[in-house]
A and B are shown apart, each in its own frame.
Chain A
Amino acid sequence: MAFAAFSSTKSNGTSKPKKTGRVVIALLAPGLAYLGAFFLTPLIALIMVSLQAQDPYGGIGDYIPAFEINNYFLVITEYFPHMFRSFSYALIATILALLISYPLAYFIGVKARPYPLLQKLMLTLVIAPFFISFLLRTLAWKQIFSNESWIVTTLQDTGLLEADQYVVGTPFMVIFGLTYNFIPFMTLPLYTSLERLDTRYLEAGSDLYASPSKVFRKVTLPLSMPGIISGTLLTFIPIAGDYINASGDFLGSSSTAMLGNVIEANYLQINDYPSASALSVLLMGAILILVAGYVKKSGTEDLL
């Protein structure tokens, strides 16, 4: 999807392959077969289910093949707030993750260069959370911010929270959880592009009387753009479809339900498969459009 945008930029290159021989096809075959079996087939099945209609004579969860395009309009009207919420949370969490990760990646990739040991140690710390299942880590946050925890009681005592306000189940908590869980996905791509940053450019910038902030804006930021783009994509796309953090069993409540939670409820609880599938297709489509627009606007040709 998003990668189609990347690859199209490649074809502008000068060296066109002259022979598209059997070797190329043979090399491509496993990948294409994989995509066909595990991406295309489920996608087609999903679209087919999303168009099914209720079986007039069947019980709960019984649907018959049909071409019920109306399913899409129904879910849009019914679940518009959840779609809006999903994308707002994803946007906020992505920006927060970027703001937190950039200085971190800059420090590891640029400032810590003279100290390879420190650099490696810090990188390990960034990846360290992956050693524990993210479900467990998310549950731990729930416990840390539980209603009777000292954090919440302190906040209530100092008047930052009303006596009947709590942290778990609020949008703050969900966005916190999303940001926390996806920070490594932002930090690592940023690190890889900042790590290649040639510091002589920075010196040249300041030699030409640019202020530090101007050097950052004109030199560092543009040079780290590939990292920013892949980092934001790697966080935004999964966050928009996340259903763990916002779930009532973890950090959310009924007022924070995101699209993933709606799809889960429709699939597992209401047994309304067409609605769940239609929502999945819409989610995919919306992300595809947003990401394509984003990648086009940020001008990947110069960057990748």
Chain B
Amino acid sequence: MNQNLPEDPQLREMVKAALAHKVTRRAVLGGAVATSAAALLAACAPSDKAQLTPATDVSDSDPSLIWSNWSLYVDVDDAGNYPTLEKFKSETGISVTYREDYDDNDSYFGKVKDQLALGQDIGADLTCPTSWMAARWINAGYVQTFDEAELPNKKNVQPAYLGEAYDPQRTMSLPYQGILAGFAFDKKAYKDATGKEAPAVLADLWDPSLKGRIGVLSEMRDTVGIVLMDQGVKIGDANSLTEDAFMSAIDVIGQKVTEGQIARIKGNSYKDDLVNGDTIVAIAWSGDIIQLNAEAGYDRFGFVLPESGGTISADCFVIPMGATHKKNAEKLMNFYYDPYNAAVLAAYVNYITPVVGAKEEAMKLDPALAENQLIFPSEEFLSLTQGFRALDSKEEQAFTKAFQKIKLGA
């Protein structure tokens, strides 16, 4: 039944209300006024930590689930099917509607914010914001607490992902994949333009022959993080990553945008520009690149971490308060914490898997896979990466605004 509901969250609520009560048209219109009034009030209401209650779970009667995720983030076969999701369906009978509509943390949040604040269905039972955004949702009380009984495989979570300040025991969020950001480049085009094999430091991106062919992520923490690390700033350390340091990195990026060196600041859609050749070098996410190569059919793109280091973060499963298929969502998470399934997924998406035992399973599938530093990184490799420190909301707003100003130009 869920599949037939409109995608727009506000309309969804209205249609659902109508279906639930079998109401007359007049009552629906009344409801529309009430919902918009509620949204208006929510927009005006002073916000404390929201006191929301989880939506009624209809998992037992409705074996379905909507999962809203980033693009290139689950295995796809040539026919366009999702093999692990099909396996999940055959094991549990739950059919997953998979949506690739999470392009950017800020814009996704901007779209669903009002529904989250009211505890309404956002059109997804499960979604994967990056950890800092997951932290924002958790701190605001927008997500449901997991039922541990449904998650026996939670024991397989890599210990490195426990102990986060926003969710120390991982009772409301679980890491889906660890993400590295570094330089992605079109091998041939890069060599033709610069004569070099691969970019190694940030200065290589400022090569005059690459003018107008550089793209950076609209994910502030990755793009600015890499520039900050190039300037010797430790981005995980509040004493090193000060507002001044941040703004000086912003100045560098702003100048390169004004000069026309950086032509594009984008979310996940940067992959289109790499594919059509508009972008030659991009600050990008590791796993995407390997998948783009698979689509291209040859090793067209390369991915390297800058010598000064790349950024590391994680996207986390969360179940919004308004989700009506919590149990199904938990079953799906549990499914992906099975080491074998995690290895199959990793073999395709090529991000760092947070599951203990996946490496051993990967060894059985394909030894080369288990050796891949981008999926199963060694301690040494990880020492090249840093995670962006937590920001308080004032800093976050100031930083976001400064970064967005670059995007809008003068």
Q: Which residues of A contact B (CB under 8 A)?
A: 37, 41, 45, 48-49, 52, 55, 57-65, 79, 81-82, 143, 146-148, 164-166, 168-169, 248-249, 253-257, 261-262, 265-273
User: Is A253 in contact with B44, judged by CB distance below 8 angstroms?
Assistant: no
* Least distance between A232 CB and chain B CB atoms (Å): 28
Residue ID in chain B nearest A272 by CB atoms = B401
User: Is A148 in contact with B277, judged by CB distance below 8 angstroms?
Assistant: yes
Give chain A residues whose Cβ lies under 8 Å from the Cβ of B406.
254
Is B136 on the interface with A (CB-CB < 8 A)? yes
Select which of A166, A168, A257 is within 8 A of B408 by beta carbon.
Answer: A257
User: Is A270 in contact with B397, judged by CB distance below 8 angstroms?
Assistant: yes
* Least distance between A119 CB and chain B CB atoms (Å): 40
30 residue pairs bridging A and B, Cβ less than 8 Å apart: A48-B44, A49-B44, A52-B44, A55-B47, A59-B47, A59-B139, A60-B393, A62-B47, A63-B44, A64-B46, A65-B44, A82-B408, A146-B276, A146-B278, A164-B208, A164-B209, A164-B211, A164-B212, A165-B212, A166-B263, A166-B278, A253-B264, A254-B409, A256-B409, A257-B409, A262-B408, A266-B404, A269-B104, A270-B404, A271-B397
Known: A59-B140, A147-B277, A248-B407. A267 touches B212 (CB 8 A): no
User: Is B276 in contact with A268, judged by CB distance below 8 angstroms?
Assistant: no
> What CA separation (Å) do A23 and B136 show in the bound complex?
56
Grouping DSSP codes into helix (H, G, I), strand (E, B) and loop, the B interface class, with mixed when no group exceeds half, is helix
Select which of B33, B46, B110 is within 8 A of A267 by beta carbon.
Answer: B110
Q: A254-B257, A271-B109 are in contact. List 12 more A-B contacts (CB 8 A).
A: A49-B43, A49-B44, A59-B139, A64-B46, A82-B408, A164-B211, A255-B409, A267-B110, A268-B110, A269-B106, A269-B407, A271-B106
> What CA separation (Å) do A268 and B258 show in the bound complex?
23
Is B396 on the interface with A (CB-CB < 8 A)? yes
Known: A267-B110, A271-B110. A81 touches B46 (CB 8 A): no
Is B265 on the interface with A (CB-CB < 8 A)? yes
Residue ID in chain B nearest A267 by CB atoms = B110
Known: A254-B257, A255-B409. A60 touches B397 (CB 8 A): yes
> What CA separation (Å) do A57 and B139 show in the bound complex?
14
Give chain A residues whose Cβ lies under 8 Å from the Cβ of B263.
166, 169, 253
Is B331 on the interface with A (CB-CB < 8 A)? no
Residue total for B at the interface (Cβ-Cβ under 8 A): 45
Give chain B residues whose Cβ lies under 8 Å from the Cβ of A143.
276
User: Is B113 in contact with A271, judged by CB distance below 8 angstroms?
Assistant: yes
User: Is A254 in contact with B407, judged by CB distance below 8 angstroms?
Assistant: yes
> What CA separation (Å) do A79 and B33 show in the bound complex?
34
> What CA separation (Å) do A41 and B36 show in the bound complex?
10
User: Is B136 in contact with A60, judged by CB distance below 8 angstroms?
Assistant: yes
Output the residue of A37, A266, A270 with the most chain B CB within 10 A. A270
User: Is B408 in contact with A265, judged by CB distance below 8 angstroms?
Assistant: yes
Is B410 on the interface with A (CB-CB < 8 A)? yes
Give chain B residues whose Cβ lies under 8 Å from the Cβ of A272.
397, 401
User: Is B404 in contact with A61, judged by CB distance below 8 angstroms?
Assistant: no
Is B22 on the interface with A (CB-CB < 8 A)? no
Give chain A residues whose Cβ lies under 8 Å from the Cβ of B396.
60
Select which of A52, A55, A59, A248 is within 8 A of B264 by beta carbon.
Answer: A248
Is B107 on the interface with A (CB-CB < 8 A)? yes
> What CA separation (Å) do A17 and B311 show in the bound complex?
73
User: Is A268 in contact with B277, judged by CB distance below 8 angstroms?
Assistant: no
User: Is A55 in contact with B46, judged by CB distance below 8 angstroms?
Assistant: yes
Shortest Cβ-Cβ A-B pairs, 3 listed: A268-B110, A254-B409, A148-B277
Is B400 on the interface with A (CB-CB < 8 A)? yes
Is B89 on the interface with A (CB-CB < 8 A)? no
Give chain A residues whose Cβ lies under 8 Å from the Cβ of B407.
248, 254, 257, 265, 269
Known: A58-B46, A253-B264, A272-B401. A148 touches B278 (CB 8 A): yes
* Least distance between B110 CB and chain A CB atoms (Å): 4
* Least distance between B397 CB and chain A CB atoms (Å): 5
Residue ID in chain A nearest B114 by CB atoms = A61
Give chain A residues whose Cβ lies under 8 Å from the Cβ of B218.
269
Is B213 on the interface with A (CB-CB < 8 A)? yes
Is B16 on the interface with A (CB-CB < 8 A)? no
Residue ID in chain A nearest B210 by CB atoms = A164
Give chain B residues whose Cβ lies under 8 Å from the Cβ of A52.
44
Give chain A residues whose Cβ lies under 8 Å from the Cβ of B170.
none
User: Is A81 in contact with B410, judged by CB distance below 8 angstroms?
Assistant: yes
Is B269 on the interface with A (CB-CB < 8 A)? yes
Give chain B residues whose Cβ lies under 8 Å from the Cβ of A269.
104, 106-107, 110, 218, 400, 404, 407
Query: Within B305-357, which residues are at the interface with A (CB < 8 Å)?
Result: none
Residue ID in chain B nearest A79 by CB atoms = B408
> What CA separation (Å) do A166 and B404 show in the bound complex?
23
Contact pattern, B 247-291, Cβ under 8 Å of A = 1, otherwise 0: 000000000011010011110010000001110000000000000
> What CA separation (Å) do A62 and B409 show in the bound complex?
26
Select which of B43, B136, B410 is within 8 A of A273 by beta carbon.
Answer: B43
Is B162 on the interface with A (CB-CB < 8 A)? no
> What CA separation (Å) do A55 and B397 show in the bound complex?
12
Is B196 on the interface with A (CB-CB < 8 A)? no
Residue ID in chain A nearest B215 by CB atoms = A248
* Least distance between A281 CB and chain B CB atoms (Å): 16
> What CA separation (Å) do A45 and B33 show in the bound complex?
13
> What CA separation (Å) do A266 and B397 show in the bound complex?
11
Give chain A residues whose Cβ lies under 8 Å from the Cβ of B113.
61, 271
Known: A168-B278, A248-B407, A270-B404. A147 touches B212 (CB 8 A): yes
Is B40 on the interface with A (CB-CB < 8 A)? yes
Give chain B residues whose Cβ lies under 8 Å from the Cβ of A61.
113
Is B389 on the interface with A (CB-CB < 8 A)? no
Give chain A residues whose Cβ lies under 8 Å from the Cβ of B410.
81
Give chain A residues whose Cβ lies under 8 Å from the Cβ of B269.
249
Give chain B residues whose Cβ lies under 8 Å from the Cβ of A63.
43-44
